[in-house]
Each structure stands twice: as structure tokens, then as C-alpha cells.
């Protein structure tokens, strides 16, 4: 923990946060990032590799790493774990069939020691679709309450298509990270 806290203290001066977006393919990670940045979301190819966006959010500078979710490239997620302050796990709430995969990948990810200190925001995306599972149902299927003790987490329903819920989610995440690493504020 020593090195991590040093890194955090250095970052404190810059008001910078590093946020990692992961989740299964087709969950809407890139769409969320572009939507929150006010960009066109109608032409987005499935992410082959990763995108980085720096967004000014409130008084912080968010470094958002949006990593592709295809099965083939999930094994590369580990390359992006270092120094992550906040983790955003995106779920396609209407893809009920793959929720088992989704849970397995999430819990696999959370075992990672390098992510131990990071806050977790779960976006139950695609809430605009009729028949999408509600956030509390997603939380149950993903078995989120097991980490009540050792992690700050929150699930927020959203639609990257309409933009609903995105700010609410990021507000929580940024506040939670800020209260953890910028103690002097």
C-alpha cells in the first residue's frame, strides 16, 4: 500500500483521477464515454484495443480508459489496472443470457490486487430498452453485496442512448474517489 499512497499523494496536486471502463462486449462502454463528453454516438465501431479520453469533470480531470470487451481482448484488461482510482463496470441490462458471463468476469476482475483500493461503479446500461432488468435485479444476479465489506460500490441504472443516469453515476464515482484520495479538501 505504501507505493500506492505515494502515487495518490503525487496525483493529489493535479486533481487527476484515472478511471477504467470495463465490461462485456456490447455493453456500451464507448457509447457512455462519448455521450458524457457530448460527442456523436451514432457511429461507434466495436472497440479493437482501447480509447483514452481526458474529460474535465467538476474540478477534476478524469482520465478515462475505455478498454474493448471482446472475449479475445479481455485478457489484456490487466495491462490497464495500474493506478486505477475508479472502476466502471458496464452491464447490458437487456442481455439476460450473458449475465452469468458478466458476473464471472466481474468477480474475476475484482480479485485483482491492483484494483483493491478502487471504487466500483456498476452501470446497468440500456435501461431505455423495454424488458431490460432493473438495477436492483442486476445487483442481485451479479452478487454485488458480497463486497459490501471491502469496497465502495454503487449500481446506477442508465441509458447511454438517452444519457439518463450517466451524470448521476459519475457524480457518485468522482465524489467517492475524491473523498478517499483528496482528504484535505
Min dist CB 78 to another protein, Å, is: 18
Site membership for another protein, residue 39 (CB under 8 A) = no
Active-site amino acid positions: 70
Give the angle 177-178-179 at the CA atoms, nearest 5°: 95
Nearer to another protein, 97 or 185 (CB): 97
Tell me the number of residues near another protein by CB under 8 A. Answer: 37
Please pick, from the candidates 16, 55, 151, 161, the single residue that binds another protein as defined by CB under 8 A.
161
Min dist CB 149 to another protein, Å, is: 10
Per-residue DSSP letters for 23-82?
-STTS-HHHHHHHHTT---SS-PPPSSEEEEEEEETTEEEEEEEE---HHHHTTGGGG-T
Query: Residue holding cell 483528496?
Result: 182
CA terminus-to-terminus distance, the chain: 22
Q: Which three cell numbers stand for residue 35?
A: 455521450
**Interface ranges with another protein (CB under 8 A):** 1-3, 5-6, 9-10, 25-26, 42-46, 48, 70-73, 94-97, 99-100, 107, 126, 128-133, 141, 143, 146, 161
Amino acid at each position: 500500500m505504501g507505493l500506492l499512497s505515494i502515487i495518490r499523494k503525487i496525483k493529489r496536486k493535479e486533481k487527476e483521477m484515472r478511471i477504467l471502463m470495463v465490461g462485456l462486449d456490447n455493453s456500451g462502454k464507448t457509447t457512455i464515454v462519448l455521450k458524457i463528453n457530448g460527442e456523436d454516438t451514432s457511429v461507434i465501431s466495436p472497440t479493437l484495443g482501447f480509447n483514452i479520453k481526458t474529460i474535465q469533470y467538476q474540478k477534476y480531470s478524469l482520465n478515462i480508459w475505455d478498454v474493448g470487451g471482446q472475449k479475445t481482448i479481455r485478457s489484456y484488461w490487466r495491462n490497464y489496472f495500474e493506478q486505477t482510482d475508479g472502476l466502471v463496470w458496464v452491464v447490458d441490462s437487456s442481455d439476460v443470457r450473458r449475465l452469468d458471463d458478466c458476473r464471472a468476469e466481474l468477480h474475476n476482475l475484482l480479485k485483482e490486487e491492483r484494483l483493491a483500493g478502487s471504487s466500483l461503479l456498476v452501470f446497468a446500461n440500456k435501461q431505455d430498452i423495454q424488458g431490460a432488468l432493473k438495477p436492483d435485479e442486476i445487483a442481485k444476479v451479479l452478487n454485488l453485496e458480497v463486497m459490501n465489506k471491502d469496497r465502495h460500490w454503487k449500481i446506477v441504472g442508465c441509458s447511454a442512448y438517452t444519457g439518463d443516469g450517466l451524470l448521476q453515476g459519475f457524480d457518485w464515482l468522482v465524489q467517492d474517489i475524491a473523498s478517499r484520495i483528496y482528504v484535505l479538501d
